[in-house]
């Protein structure tokens, strides 16, 4: 029956067809687009393509068991299916678009961006005849307004695992496991095969439950099983997970996958910090009502080498740390797992952050740019997602539901600043090694790295809020030669002020105030843009493109 629904020429089938065409305003080769415009876009792509540095993902597989070597290819095959599903969510007309685009560089840029919009430049269209990227993507009917959905009688208005369709003039909700039944069944079968081969009982349980989740949209049991895993050498994060792609409501999740090999040595070093979460929560620089929730301590901090990225996490800027699951109830009861993707992180540090620091950080302070500080700043960003408040203090429900599409960027901003706050606190307690100057200076260089992603998505808005807030408070100054010098004393006070500011915005659930904060500080000012342009002129990449799945047990 599901297959018939998907292939129907009438009814829901027509609604799906309409949706698949919603992303394009015109044909890519629209003859109305003049030659000069096309030439301009080709020039644009030629200039933008080098912002990505190609890096091969590798890891030491010698520590893997015989069974893990058999499991790994199956996980990568399942991940590739998530990649195809993500394409169907963000740009279903991929193949026809690629067939019509003759310029090889433009084709490459389409693949990097999972569509004809530049993800690191405000989703600017870079193919002739393509209009603006719809805020609702393919999750909603074309031109559907927020008001129309809110006024409708759809029960699953803001569901993570469904799309909204128009059928016979009425809005309806259709689950992912119905729309993508064939692909999800294939991925589920691959996970079941992997479960039969693994020797780790907890990993086996997780793989079986995750396989079930893909074909039912019921992820909670597998999320719980994932947090229970302790001894696995391999890991796979797979499914419909993050909701950044839905810019209309910030509700619906996009498909992605990471295939991971655990670094057991680094993971052991990180284990002690989870037990400190309740104390860190109590010491947050905000009134007691905004920190009354107690974070879970059953979760783990782990370091991994990632061997395969697929879907959402591979689009545009590449994720280097993961904090999951997103389910607030599971977070409150059991916490989360913070996964540090060490090989990808090291590649970004070497290829991007160090060259940026040499260009934009005060010469006397470049000595403080260190990988261990970068690793810790990123790690505690993920830990900080578990701190603060998940429910408003005034009866408006969860922070997510109160802030809607404004939630993600503010949550990322919270994690940025509370992560730095935690680093400073742990240094004072002697629980972390190093000099605070290393962490503050590397954080500043990290901001300059991250703001290059643009201010159109959650992380970009969060980075700009922090940069502009720190600028207002004198946490750094810009030298006459265009380099930035950190004021360590003022950084600490600015850090505390911004932490309190964000926690109150979340706890109050004041969506209008969050929107105002974004308009005031979530922007790139001309002076900063000029400095960022210098990085591009120097040929410093903005992000990475991975060569992956090659040389991993002979797979391609």
Torsion sign over Cα 137, 541, 80, 195: negative
DSSP character for 555? B
Grouping H, G, I as helix, E, B as strand and the rest as coil, residue 477 is strand
- Average predicted confidence (pLDDT) for the chain: 89
Per-residue pLDDT of the chain (556 residues; tens, 9 = 90+): 333 333 222 233 333 333 344 344 444 444 445 677 788 999 999 999 999 999 999 898 888 999 999 999 999 999 999 999 999 999 999 999 999 999 999 999 999 999 999 998 989 999 999 999 999 999 999 989 999 999 999 989 999 999 999 999 999 999 999 999 999 999 999 999 999 999 999 999 999 999 999 999 999 999 999 999 999 999 999 999 999 899 999 999 999 999 999 998 888 877 778 778 888 899 899 999 999 988 766 667 899 999 999 999 999 889 988 989 999 889 888 888 889 999 999 999 999 999 999 999 999 999 999 999 999 998 888 778 888 988 999 999 999 999 998 998 999 999 999 999 999 999 998 999 999 999 999 999 999 998 887 666 677 788 899 999 999 999 999 999 999 999 999 999 999 999 999 999 999 999 999 999 999 898 888 999 999 999 989 999 989 999 997 555 444 3
How much is the pLDDT for 66?
94
Task: Give 300's contacts (C-beta < 8 A, 6+ positions apart).
Answer: 227, 230, 267, 270, 271, 274, 337, 338
The rounded distance, in Å, linking the Cα atoms of 335 and 325 is 8
SS in 3 state form for 42-86?
HHHHHHHHHHEEEEECCCCCCCCCHHHHHHHHHHHHHHHHHHHHH
- Confidence (pTM): 0.80
β-bridge pairing 321-324 and 337-341:
antiparallel
Residue 239 belongs to some domain of the structure: no
Classify 304 as helix, strand or coil: strand
**How many C-alpha atoms does 415 have within 13 Å on its Cβ side?**
24
The pLDDT value given to residue 62: 85
**Spatial contact of 449 and 540, defined as CB atoms under 8 Å apart:** no
Q: Per the domain annotation, does 58 fall within a domain?
A: no
Q: Is residue 212 part of a domain?
A: no
Query: Under DSSP, is residue 443 helix (H, G, I), strand (E, B) or coil?
Result: helix
**pLDDT given at position 552:** 56
Q: How many CB atoms lie within 10 A of CB 276?
A: 16
Residues contacting 538, CB < 8 A, separation 6+: 355, 359
| 226 within a domain of the structure (yes/no) | no
The pLDDT, as a whole number, for residue 457 is 66
The alpha-carbon radius of gyration of the chain (Å, integer) is 23
Residue 373 lies in a domain: yes
Opening angle at CA 191, ends 86 and 265, nearest 5: 95
Token pair, residue 197, equals 């081969």
Whether 554 is covered by a domain: the verdict is: no
Contact 338, 301 (CB under 8 A): yes
* Per-residue pLDDT at 23: 42
- Name the DSSP class of 5: H
Q: How many domains are contained in the chain?
A: 1
Task: Please check whether residue 475 lies inside any domain of the structure.
Answer: yes
Six-digit token string for 24: 């394009």
Question: Rounded to an integer, what distance in angstroms lies between the CA atom of residue 207 and that of residue 188?
Answer: 9
Q: What pLDDT does residue 21 have?
A: 41
Q: What is the domain extent for residue 492?
A: 263-547
* Rounded Cα gap, residues 263 and 309, in angstroms: 17
Residue entry with tokens 């930035």: 484
Look-up: residue for tokens 């591009």?
Answer: 536
- Cα(461)–Cα(458) distance, rounded to whole angstroms? 5
**Strands 52-56 and 543-547, bridge-based pairing:** parallel
Residue 483, domain member (yes or no): yes
């Amino acid at each position: 029956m599901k297959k018939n629904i998907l292939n129907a020429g009438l009814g829901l089938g027509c609604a799906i067809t309409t949706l698949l065409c919603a992303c394009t305003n015109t044909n890519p080769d629209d003859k109305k687009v003049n030659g000069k415009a096309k030439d301009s876009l080709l020039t644009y792509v030629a200039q933008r393509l080098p912002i990505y540095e190609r890096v091969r993902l590798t890891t030491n597989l010698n520590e893997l068991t015989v069974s893990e070597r058999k499991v790994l290819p199956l996980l990568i095959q399942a991940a590739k299916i998530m990649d195809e599903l993500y394409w169907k969510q963000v740009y279903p007309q991929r193949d026809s678009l690629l067939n019509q685009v003759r310029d090889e560089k433009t084709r490459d840029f389409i693949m990097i961006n999972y569509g004809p919009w530049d993800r690191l430049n405000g989703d600017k269209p870079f193919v002739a005849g393509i209009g603006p990227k719809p805020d609702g993507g393919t999750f909603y009917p074309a031109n559907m307004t927020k008001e129309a959905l809110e006024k409708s009688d759809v029960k699953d208005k803001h569901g993570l695992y469904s799309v909204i369709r128009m059928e016979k003039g009425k809005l309806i909700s259709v689950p992912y496991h119905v729309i993508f039944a064939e692909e999800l069944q294939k991925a589920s079968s691959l996970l079941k095969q992997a479960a039969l081969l693994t020797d780790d009982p907890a990993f086996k349980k997780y793989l079986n439950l995750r396989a079930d989740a893909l074909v039912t949209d019921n992820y909670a049991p597998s999320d719980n099983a994932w947090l229970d895993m302790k001894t696995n050498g391999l890991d796979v994060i797979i499914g419909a997970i993050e909701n950044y792609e839905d810019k209309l409501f910030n509700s619906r999740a996009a498909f992605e996958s990471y295939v991971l090999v655990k670094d057991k040595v680094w993971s052991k070093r990180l284990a002690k910090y989870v037990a400190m979460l309740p104390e860190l929560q109590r010491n947050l620089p905000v009134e007691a009502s905004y920190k009354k929730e107690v974070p879970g301590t059953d979760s783990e901090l782990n370091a991994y080498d990632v061997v395969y990225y697929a879907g959402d996490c591979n689009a545009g800027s590449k994720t280097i740390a993961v904090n999951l699951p997103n389910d607030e109830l599971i977070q409150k009861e059991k916490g989360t797992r913070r996964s540090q993707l060490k090989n990808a992180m090291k590649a970004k540090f070497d290829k991007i952050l160090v060259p940026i620091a040499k260009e934009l950080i005060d010469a006397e302070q470049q000595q403080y740019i260190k990988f261990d500080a970068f690793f810790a700043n990123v790690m505690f960003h993920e830990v900080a997602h578990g701190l603060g408040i998940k429910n408003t203090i005034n009866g408006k429900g969860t922070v997510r539901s109160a802030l809607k599409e404004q939630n993600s960027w503010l949550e990322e901003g919270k994690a940025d600043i509370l992560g730095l706050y935690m680093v400073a606190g742990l240094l004072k307690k002697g629980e972390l090694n190093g000099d605070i100057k290393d962490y503050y200076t590397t954080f500043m260089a990290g901001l300059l790295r991250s703001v290059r992603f643009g201010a159109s998505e959650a992380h970009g808005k969060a980075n700009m809020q922090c940069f502009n807030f720190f600028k207002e408070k004198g946490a750094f100054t810009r030298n006459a030669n265009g380099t930035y010098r950190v004021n360590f004393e003022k950084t600490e006070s600015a850090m505390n002020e911004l932490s309190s500011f964000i926690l109150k915005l979340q706890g109050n659930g004041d969506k209008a105030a969050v929107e105002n904060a974004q308009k005031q500080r979530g922007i790139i000012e001309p002076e900063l843009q000029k400095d960022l342009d210098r990085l591009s002129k120097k040929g410093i990449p903005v992000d990475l493109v991975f060569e992956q799945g090659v040389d991993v047990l002979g797979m391609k």
